[in-house]
Amino acid sequence: MSTYAAVGIGLATRVAATGKILDTWFPFVATGGDAGMAVALAAALEHEGGSATLVLSPGVLDGTEVAADDPMVAAVNGVTADTVSPAPTRTERVPVATFIEDLGLPPADAHDVYLRLHLLSHRLIRPHGANLDGAFGLLSNVVWTDLGPCDPDGFEELRLALGAAGHRVRVTSIDKFPRMTDYVVPAGVRIADADRVRLGAYLGHGTTVMHEGFVNFNAGTLGASMVEGRISAGVVVGDGSDVGGGASIMGTLSGGGSQVISIGEDALIGANAGVGISLGDGCIVEAGLYLTAGTKVALPNGEVVKAAALSGEDRLLFRRDSQTGQVVTLAREGATGDWGGLNADLHANQ
């Protein structure tokens, strides 16, 4: 009998004429031991194991041993009751069950990718907790509109037809990844501009993302953090840290590399600053200073090293000497968070 690392019950949007998958929304997801109930569903679907996505039909769980009040049963009944198809956008929604046997293996299809992104945004797995190799190749480019996802092929003709039918369609983006809040709304967070948080972002409880903040997929905050800058793909920010206005953290996709950039707890990246190395707990990067791995940094003893040699070290202050222009680092004294820390009032009652 197969076991599953994750399962999702969802609705896939596909192009009615071609079957191209545009997205999959999973109102029910489970991992690990909570995915054990998936075995009964797989048996009912005559699925013999492995990662796969199968179409659901009404009553598929009738006669099984799954309890009627099981959340998975409610989800299956909910998605199979969806009959709004085809849509005016020339798409149709199909109820599906997606099974993932091993999150350490690359995703099998577009549904699999969407389930992994949901798991991240639901905080069921942390960034880098699932293999996303090949995800871009599995996802279609989509025209995201207020009427739902649309196929870019023939979209202008579709726009004209929708207009004639009284639908003035509004395009929000053209991308492979949608905004998170159209699929997942995690508890205990504030997001000032939903367009700037992609599905697959992991936002820790207590996090605030301000209007200019951005959080990419497979990245995010592990606790209460202030995000006024950019958290790129693959970056993980620790509890109590502040990414200042206009600041940027270089992600794993920036140069095509695989090195994971992380920011420790109670760290501060000043406004318009940037980092291309990991920061340990309690570090500060001065406003306006961009610290790459190759930046030459002067130590207190006069030795000059590349910033990469200091990656991950705790309680360092990085700043530029205003007289010489040289980047220097100093060991910080005092208690963690003595730069002032996050404003508790801003992160309360979320």
Tokens representing residue 6 in the block = 């994750």
Please name which of 23, 331, 28 lies closest in space to residue 150, comparing C-alpha atoms.
23
Tokens representing residue 128 in the block = 């880098």
Please name which of 45, 109, 100, 114 lies closest in space to residue 76, comparing C-alpha atoms.
45
For residues 338 and 305, the answer to whether their CB atoms sit within 8 Å is: no
Max Cα-Cα span within the chain: 79
- The residue annotated as part of the active site, out of 156, 157, 228, 286, is 228
CA distance 90 to 302: 67
For residues 290 and 274, the answer to whether their CB atoms sit within 8 Å is: yes
- 225 burial class (0-12, 13-18, 19+ CB within 10 angstroms)? buried
* DSSP category for residue 344: G
Residues in Cβ contact with 9 at an 8 Å cutoff, skipping those fewer than 6 apart? 26, 27, 28, 29, 56, 72, 75, 76, 79, 95, 96, 97
**CA 273 → CA 120, 180, 221, 240, 320, distances in Å?**
27, 26, 18, 18, 11
For residues 142 and 161, the answer to whether their CB atoms sit within 8 Å is: no
228 catalytically annotated: yes
**CA 20 → CA 23, 141, 215, distances in Å?**
9, 11, 28
Show which residues are catalytic.
228
